Amino acid sequence: TDDFFKNVVSHAKEYGFVFPSSEIYDGLSAVYDYGQLGAELKNNLKTYWWKAMVQLHENIVGIDAAIFMHPTTWKASGHIDGFNDPMIDNKDSKKRYRADQLIEDQIARYEADGKTEVAQQLQTDLDAALNSDDLPRLKAIIEQHNIVCPISGTKNWTEVRQFNLMFSTKMGASAEDAEMVYLRPETAQGIFVNFLNVQKSGRMKIPFGIAQIGKAFRNEVIARQFIMRMREFEQMEMQFFVRPGTELEWYGKWKENRLKWHLAIGGDPARYRYHDHVKLAHYANAAVDIEYDFPFGFKEVEGIHSRTDFDLSQHQKYSGKKLQYFDPEVNQNYVPYVIETSIGLDRLFLTVLCNSFEEQDLSTDDKKDSRSVLRFHPALAPVKAAVLPLTKKDGLPDKARQILNRLKIDYNVQYDEKDSIGKRYRRQDAIGTPFCITVDYQSLEDDTVTLRHRDSMEQERVAASELEEIISNLVGW
Ligand code: ATP
């Protein structure tokens, strides 16, 4: 599975899906750029989410709030005081670690050695220390269990300190009146502060939702596993505002609805599971992660949280503005309760890559052969079809370009005339193109073409005039 993941990462780079950021300068840690095909795939994922959440729900609308927000936002949301990771430094290697991660690794070692009871006890101690933000206790645990620095091998640790995950910068022209602003660590707050604007201007009636897709930034200390944990990433979030007392019913609905969404774009049901939170954040009364079985194990892709009236009440308190809704059905004013669905677009992208990538052995008795294929759902595929003239002469390219010019109005299509037809098919397989349209001599006579299917590699003869309809039926949502 290690090799599988390495192959996914190198395939993503080789074919223009994901590049390390500013690679000519040796990259920037935990920051990535999406290449020509990655950008298309990402856009298709956004469209799929937006259609499912906004377009198909009469009572959900979408917004696009700014990345910068008034600094008080982050006081109210709790991010200034509470959005911290406990860090510890090793004085010899000068390396910094998340204290809880070091302890988790120790628990895993105990488990691997069959010391289940010790492992369980340590987990309990760790949870208690984290829940009470007891930093000296974390340090004491690290010492008690003789945890050493993986680099230096020594136990020469500093104290444990909180490290805030928010990036900050200065806004304003002159140094004196410049104000500290933060790069948002989540998109949700842009929705909360606009709750009344949207409700009033859109005449929204509860229950209703506000959705948003946008960048978020976190100064993650431990960044690894490719685009799984990045410092700049993208979220797709929806806040659903409901009458207090009905939130758990809506929570159940969204929990079910969101998993179905993952499966509807070709997700393998066996690779998904729910992980219900037992320990809840102080503002939540229910929370679940949808986890995907990545090559490195089950990890969160999306969170569904019942956040009560915490966020709106906090903003009400800090802004002094009433953030209430008059509900004509019960003839009452109240601060709505909120169900949140929050998915990381980049993690979703990674699930789609892992779920689609396959190296197939196509060898026969007398010939060795193989192909790499990305078996994307046709609706997600960056390129929908490739138009390929069998040869470069006798008017075949002209005929192929006529077809291309028609199709490109509605679909992202490619033209390719270089190399043998077999090689060209393989190149399209490798980028996940669901259909290849081959123009040959017969095409000149009867206006038919060969339609070759990526997954089955089967070919059929179809009329060129029917291509739009055939493709539209297959790449639809
Ligand atoms: P984790 O426990 O993995 O750090 P989280 O619980 O902090 O994630 P949330 O704050 O619930 O994550 O954010 C919602 C979603 O945003 C996550 O499910 C994940 O898909 C995505 N996400 C969060 N942090 C990152 C990151 N650093 N890089 C990429 N995606 C992220």
Its ipTM equals 0.96
Q: How far is the CA of 120 from the centre of ligand 1 (A)?
A: 26
Please tell me the predicted confidence (pLDDT) of residue 437: 98
Cα-to-centroid distance, 83 and ligand 1 (Å): 13
Q: Do residues 210 and 198 make contact, with C-beta atoms less than 8 angstroms apart?
A: yes
Tens-digit pLDDT profile for residues 372-426: 999 999 999 999 999 999 999 999 999 999 999 999 999 999 999 999 999 999 9
Q: Which two tokens stand for residue 37?
A: 């095909």
Alpha carbon 276 to chain centroid distance?
A: 19
Q: Which of 83, 217, 229 to probe ligand 1 with, by most ligand atoms within 8 A of CB?
A: 229
Q: Tell me, in angstroms, the distance from the centre of ligand 1 to residue 185's CA.
A: 10
Binding residues for substrate: 98, 186, 233-237, 340-344
**Two tokens at 210?**
């506000």
pLDDT at residue number 32: 97
Looking at residue 335, what DSSP letter applies? P
CATH number for the segment(s) 2-68+167-354: 3.30.930.10
**Cα(344) to centroid(ligand 1), Å:** 6
Domain limits, CATH 3.40.50.800, in the chain: 383-475
Residues 351, 137: Cα–Cα separation, whole Å: 37
- Ligand 1 binding site (Cβ under 6 Å of any ligand atom): 186, 218, 220, 229-230, 233, 235, 300-303, 342-344, 346-347
Give the residue whose CA is nearest to atom 10 of ligand 1.
186
Q: Which helix (H) or strand (E) holds 315?
A: helix 310-319
Mean pLDDT over residues 32-38, rounded? Answer: 98
Percent of the chain residues topping a pLDDT of 90: 89
- Residue among 367, 358, 352 at smallest CA distance from 422: 367
Q: Is the dihedral of CA 426, 431, 433, 438 positive or negative?
A: negative
Q: Tens of pLDDT along 230-289? A: 999 999 999 999 999 999 999 999 999 999 999 998 889 999 999 998 878 888 999 999
Please enumerate, by residue number, every residue annotated as part of a binding site for ATP: 218-220, 300-301, 344-347
Q: Is the pLDDT of residue 133 over 90?
A: no
Mean pLDDT check: name the lowest of 60-74, 201-215, 241-255, 279-293. Answer: 279-293
Residue 301 one-letter amino acid: V
| Local structure of 64: helix, strand or coil | coil
> In a mutational test of the pocket of ligand 1, which residue from 18, 347, 349, 352 has the highest number of ligand atoms less than 8 Å from its CB?
347
- From 225, 262, 300, 339, give the residue whose CB has the most ligand 1 atoms within 8 Å, as the site to mutate: 300
**pLDDT at position 164:** 86
Enter the DSSP assignment of 205.
-
Question: How close is the Cα of 330 to the center of ligand 1, in Å?
Answer: 37
Predicted pLDDT of residue 247:
97
Q: Assign 227 to helix, strand or coil.
A: helix
Confidence of residue 1 (pLDDT cuts 50, 70, 90): low
With a cut of 80, say whether residue 224 has pLDDT above it: no
What average pLDDT score do residues 21-27 get? Answer: 95
Inform me whether the pLDDT recorded for 187 exceeds 90. yes
Q: Which residue has the higher pLDDT, 222 or 7?
A: 7
Which residue intervals of the chain bear CATH 3.30.930.10?
2-68+167-354
- Letter for the amino acid at 391? T
Task: Give residue 193 CA to ligand 1 midpoint distance, Å.
Answer: 21
pLDDT band, very low/low/confident/very high, at 317 (cuts 50, 70, 90): very high
Q: Residue 411: its pLDDT value, please?
A: 95
Chain center to CA of 318: 31
Q: What percent of the chain has pLDDT over 70?
A: 100
Give the torsion through C-alpha atoms of 458, 463, 464, 468, to 10 deg: -80
Q: At what angle do helices 36-50 and 345-356 cross, to 10 degrees?
A: 110
Do residues 91 and 85 touch, judged by C-beta distance below 8 A? no
With H, G, I as helix, E, B as strand and everything else as coil, classify residue 457.
coil
When the pLDDT of each residue in the chain is averaged and rounded to a whole number, the result is 94
Residue 67 sits at φ, ψ, to 5 deg, of -70, -40
* CATH for 383-475, options being 3.40.50.800, 3.40.50.720, 1.10.10.10, 2.60.260.20: 3.40.50.800
Cα→Cα distances 252→259, 276, 342, 419, Å: 11, 12, 15, 54
- The pair of three-digit structure tokens given for residue 275, joined into one six-digit string: 């992980």
Cα 282 to ligand 1 centroid, rounded to whole Å? 18
Domain 84-164, CATH number (from 3.30.40.230, 3.10.180.10, 3.30.1360.30, 3.40.50.2020): 3.30.40.230
Nearest CA to ligand 1 atom 26: 229
For the chain, how are helix, strand and coil distributed in percent, rounded to 5? 40, 25, 35
pLDDT of residue 287: 96
- Kindly report which listed range (37-46, 89-98, 334-343, 382-391) carries the lowest average pLDDT score: 89-98
The closest of 79, 250, 235, 60 to 168, measured between CA atoms, is 79
Alpha-carbon distance 38 to 35, whole Å? 5
Cα separations (Å) of 195 from 62, 286, 313, 467?
Answer: 12, 22, 12, 46
By alpha-carbon position, which residue is closest to atom 13 of ligand 1? 342
